[in-house]
Structure 1
Amino acid sequence: MTIRIETIAGTDLPLRPGGFPLPQDLRGQVPAVWAKMIARNPTIWDGRLYGFTPPVVDAAGILRAEAMEDDYSAHLAWREAEFPEIGLCHMFVTAIICSSDGAIILGRMSGDTINAGRVYPPGGVLDPRDLGADGRIDAERAIGFELNEETGLHAADARKGALLAISDGPRMALGRVLHFDRTADALVQEITATLEQQDERELDAVVACRSTADGRAAGNLAPYAEALLDAVFGGRIDLLRPRVW
């Protein structure tokens, strides 16, 4: 399946009532899937998160979709079934960290997470803490929160680059490019020092990527992250040079 990367101008993600429209048979599998996940990793918990109606980018470049809220266990049952078509998209946010010397910083998920060993830009799912007072999900705020929670970096310290929508079948990553005025080595050292102080860390390591091969060497590189590295280091998109968008 082809992974598509496009630049968008912003998002409009209102919350609407109702849970995920899982078919009855798939909904019935939720307890068994959750029991399997708990047996594999007792540290996970069954919070709430959002799924989204199929996103559409309008003529102004605004990505529009409606959010629906359900249990994390319901999401995992959908994921374990390999995301069959239910009229929803699994949308998540990610911070694309660019160093001053032309590297992209990726993280590797720790063994205590559901995605242990997976390599991709810091980020996470959209959940109720990302809901604004206007009843809309604030993806930009979520990106900043995930960046700080996982790496200790602050989005406000970076120059904003493009906002990307990276589509991979039923999954979509919303990624803000963030340019930091530090070298890759300095960023890796700074993030590593933060990780070593965390009691419950989501990342066990970060890696500076100057090629797709660097990402693959770090662990199980997520397909959307691999497509992003291929596009950047293959010269098909220019994200490493700071610009005003």
Structure 2
Amino acid sequence: MRRELAITHVRRVEATCEPFTWRWAEEHRDAIAENWRRRVSAKPKMFNGKVLLVSQISVTPDVCRNVYFETDYANLVAWIDMGHPDPTVANGFAMAALRGSDGAFICGVMSHDTVNGGRVYFPAGTPDRSDLLPDGTVDLASSLTRELAEETGLLDDDYRVSDEWVVVERWPALAVMRFATMNVPAAEGAEMIRARIATQEHPELSDVRVIRGMDDIDPKAMPLFLQSFLRWSFSADPAVSDSHAGLWSR
């Protein structure tokens, strides 16, 4: 599962959820429970529901195939807090690469009430049971637009989503992304989002940032996979990147 970095255009994504025993979580139950108690004492709003992690992935320019399994959110949080000790799984999520009509990106700043408070990245969330279809398919396309709406308050007619996907593999993250382009320039879009999150009772975002070039990449606040995606985007014109397939690594 561990892969330093690969960014690949794919035409479609196929994701399923299958039974899987996560041995690491089974073997570290006590440490996971203690970590959860510590986390909840600091952030009481945290809820230990079920989430989906990736146990298998295959990526070609034609298709990205992900196999997910269900686990407790507490297991995921402990795995993150302990430095991702098990390299056989990944946190795989759908993510809208939100940008204005001028090509500048818009990232959210996570609220300090959330697990990732202060971090900066595009709207996204680890898949959960709400993303599962009756046949076992994980609906990543719907997960992407739902998270975008929940975090930013944007409506379907505020943006258009590309048909193709960009898969960013940088373990422990697997970001399955689509460009979501707003109908207005990024600065105007950012103000629109700020106004909408100001009306939310429990906003996940505290603010947004406009990312226009390499100088706006924030190594302290942005996860590594996002830094890599932005560098790739600014080196390979994102305005035309939906139309070809490629691989970039370093």
TM-score by length of 1: 0.90
- Aligned equivalent of 1:114: 115
Distance 1:241 1:98 in 2: 13
Q: Does residue 181 of structure 2 align to residue 179 of structure 1?
A: yes
Distance 2:17 2:52 in 1: 9
In 2 relative to 1, CA 156–76 (structure 1 residues): closer, same or farther, beyond 3 Å?
same
- Aligned equivalent of 1:214: 216
State the superposition RMSD in angstroms: 2.1
- Deviations along 1:3-57, one digit per CA (max 9) or x if unpaired, are 3211112222111124533254323311111011112211211111001113102
Distance 2:242 2:168 in 1: 20
Identity of matched residues, %: 26
Distance 1:172 1:30 in 2: 23
Distance 1:78 1:187 in 2: 35
- Aligned equivalent of 1:238: 237
Q: Indicate which of 26, 30, 33 corresponds to 1:31.
A: 33
Distance 2:192 2:241 in 1: 21
Query: How far did residue 243 of structure 1 move?
Result: 5.4
- Aligned equivalent of 1:62: 63
Distance 1:190 1:212 in 2: 24
Distance 2:22 2:156 in 1: 31
Q: Which moved more, 1:9-18 or 1:115-124?
A: 9-18
Task: Kindly indicate whether the alpha-carbon contact (under 8 Å) linking 2:109 and 2:207 is maintained by their aligned counterparts in 1.
Answer: yes
Structure 1 segment 127-138 matched on structure 2, within 5 A? 127-138=128-139
**Structure 1 spans left out of the alignment, 5+ residues:** none
In 2 relative to 1, CA 167–155 (structure 1 residues): closer, same or farther, beyond 3 Å?
farther
- Deviations along 1:123-163, one digit per CA (max 9) or x if unpaired, are 11100000113211010110000000001123554333341
Aligned length: 241
**Structure 2 spans left out of the alignment, 5+ residues:** 245-250
- Aligned equivalent of 1:92: 93
Task: Kindly indicate whether the alpha-carbon contact (under 8 Å) linking 2:8 and 2:166 is maintained by their aligned counterparts in 1.
Answer: yes
Higher relative contact order (CA 8 A, sep 6+): 2
